[in-house]
Amino acid sequence: MEPVTRRTVLVLGAVGAAAAVTGAGAFLWSQVDGGEPPAPDAVPPSEPGVPSAGILGEPEVLTSSQGRLELTLTAALTDVVVAGAQIRALTYNGSLPGPTLRVRPGDRISLAFSNRLDAPTNLHTHGLLVSPEGNGDNSFVTVEPGATFEYGFRLGRDHPPGVFWYHPHHHGNVAEQIFGGLYGAIIVEDESPVDHQAIEDRERVLVISDIGFDASGDLRVASAMDRMFGREGDLVMVNGQVGATLDLRPGARERWRVLNACTSRHLRLRLDGQRMQLLGIDGGRYPETPDVDEIVLVPGNRADLLVTAVEGESVLRTLPFDRGGLGMMGGPVSAVSGADLLAFRVSGAAAPTPGELPPQPTPRDLRRETMTGRRTLTLAMGGMGMMGGGMSFTIDGHEFDAARVDAEAALGTLEEWTLVNTSTMDHPFHLHTWQMQLIEVGGIPIAGVDWRDVVPVPAGSSTVVRIPFERLTGRSVYHCHILDHEDNGMMGVIRTT
Ligand code: C2O
Ligand code: CU
Ligand code: CU
């Protein structure tokens, strides 16, 4: 391996320069150049026949006040305009993406949910550390078409700040409903803001998602093959727009809350020519705020970013990412093409120089603590010829069964989980209700402290995480966040008592 400077180690989390440039090892954000050099002349993203989407907009923001957020959320098939075409998508409250919820630690959220879809659904608050039972973040709830459900839960006073999100979680319908447009961001604000005005000009939410339609404007129906690979849409949107533009002044510093809401697509984000600093991934924060050239977000991941504008034109793009394929059918099928996401224009009078970032708190590091248990989970894809001629997607040999408990943990214990992937595709692994500290990917230890709720588990490899089963009890789930794989059975039930 090449010599690694301290700065690079910080940024790579010791996954290493060598690993970061080869497709299958490129799971973490990295400072090294990611392979395909960006085109020297950045041009605004455009596709033939797709009119410019104009200036980037943002979803409506619903903010808590006096410790409460009360809202109504309705899921329905809605007429919307995407890339200049009138199409029918699934939306929350008629907008794509749904509204952004802004809350603080300690807040109570009361959400009157209404299902106007023609299929059962429910609501999951991805990454929030709240009860998985009753009318909390309960993935076992079914809200039938035409029915309503009152969700209510409270964030702990010590809830981590960061970017979270909500989406459907009714087993069997998840991929189709998220692909159709059902998602929105949740921001848990910092107790002592990183973002006082001396530092940042503006904060933005960037919900990145993909979607696909047929010629008559209906959502593309996934083929059997799509459901095995994990469906990807041909349109990649930011806040529901394709090819939007952002204008900034040189020196302006913005805080971007970036969400990968794609059903299967892995994002490998670059904004060449501009400065990006990473505050954290998911609900985790880094004690230092490294400069990064590239950020990999597997489905479900979020990045909390600072972007400082440098005069000129740039493009926010996602580069191709090889997430493996169905072994017997030949080479990689999902090394799909990248996409231009946003044109970024920086000109005009310079903004005032932003101040120094305040120091971030030192995160807890479970590598210094004694584990009370260890277990291994095996993620596998079975051969063809199963029921319906498809392929089986299992954890420890089982497809999901809501009536079975696959793992029991005692409140207050610390566990190390080794996630083994015996298959030819990557499976980003997500745990509800409890956070994970990423310890090792493919045998390479992570150098820094890295808390996430979705971790990469590369094809034919393994990942080690440590989990504090604290704060919350109840029955919850873990699963592959390629949501077609989850719907196909790659999900298990955990109960903490
Ligand atoms: Cu974002 Cu169980 O999911
Ligand atoms: Cu989740
Ligand atoms: Cu998977």
Percent of the chain with pLDDT over 70: 84
Nearest ligand, measured from the Cα of 300: 1
Nearest ligand, measured from the Cα of 127: 2
| pLDDT at res. 182 | 98
Are the CB atoms for 299 and 264 separated by under 8 Å?
yes
pTM: predicted TM-score of the whole model, two decimal places = 0.90
CA 42 to ligand 2 centroid distance, Å: 36
Ligand 1 atom with least separation from CA of 299: 1
CA atoms within a 13 Å half-sphere pointing along the CA-CB vector of 61: 13
Q: Which of 32-41, 368-377, 446-455 has the lowest mean pLDDT?
A: 32-41
CA 347 to ligand 3 centroid distance, Å: 43
| Mean pLDDT across 327-331 | 56
For the chain, give the mean pLDDT.
87
| pLDDT at res. 10 | 28
CA 279 to ligand 1 centroid distance, Å: 22
Name the closest-CA residue to atom 3, ligand 1.
126
Q: Which DSSP helix (H) or strand (E) runs through 484?
A: helix 483-487
Burial degree of 110 (CB within 10 A; 0-12, 13-18, 19+): middle
More confident residue, 374 or 15: 374
Side chain identity, residue 311:
E
* Span 158-180, pLDDT tens digits: 999 999 999 999 999 999 999 99
| pLDDT at res. 336 | 63
* Span 61-93, pLDDT tens digits: 999 999 999 999 999 999 999 999 999 999 999
What residues are in contact with ligand 1 under a 6 Å CB criterion?
124, 126, 167, 169, 300, 430, 432, 479, 481
pLDDT of 35 above 70:
no
pLDDT of 3 above 80:
no
**Alpha-carbon distance 104 to 391, whole Å?**
43
pLDDT of 51 above 80:
no
Ligand 3 ion: residues within 5 Å (CB): 427, 480, 482, 485
pLDDT of 24 above 80:
no
pLDDT of 41 above 60:
no
Ligand 1 atom with least separation from CA of 486: 2
CA 372 to ligand 1 centroid distance, Å: 26
Confidence of residue 235 (pLDDT cuts 50, 70, 90): very high
